[in-house]
């Protein structure tokens, strides 16, 4: 299962861990995805949505 928001398409971003000695190694920042019950074309589905899309009401939650 991909770690991607089904509404906005936000996915993991990459960068470096940087130690005090300035050693660098790769790391990933994961998006804060939540499984939400959403109404899609009258049917209720479970989708993975980032918290920014939930907070800005880009998703119609199912009751």
Span 18-23, average pLDDT:
98
pLDDT in the model for residue 16: 98
* Mean confidence (pLDDT) of the chain: 94
Cα distance between residue 1 and residue 21, in whole Å? 36
Domains and CATH numbers, the chain: 1-63 (2.30.170.40)
The pLDDT, as a whole number, for residue 1 is 61
Q: What is the mean pLDDT of residues 36-54?
A: 93
Task: Please give the model's pTM, rounded to 2 decimal places.
Answer: 0.81
Which tokens sit at 48?
């993975």
- Strand intervals (E) in the chain: 13-18, 24-29, 33-40, 43-50
Task: Indicate whether 4 pLDDT > 70.
Answer: yes
Beta bridge partners of 16: 26
């Amino acid at each position: 299962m991909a770690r991607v928001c089904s509404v906005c398409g936000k996915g993991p971003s990459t960068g470096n861990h940087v130690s005090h000695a300035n050693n660098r190694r790769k790391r990933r920042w994961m998006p804060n995805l939540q499984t939400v019950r959403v109404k899609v074309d009258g049917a209720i589905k479970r989708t993975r949505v980032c918290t920014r899309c939930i907070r800005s009401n880009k998703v119609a939650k199912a009751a």
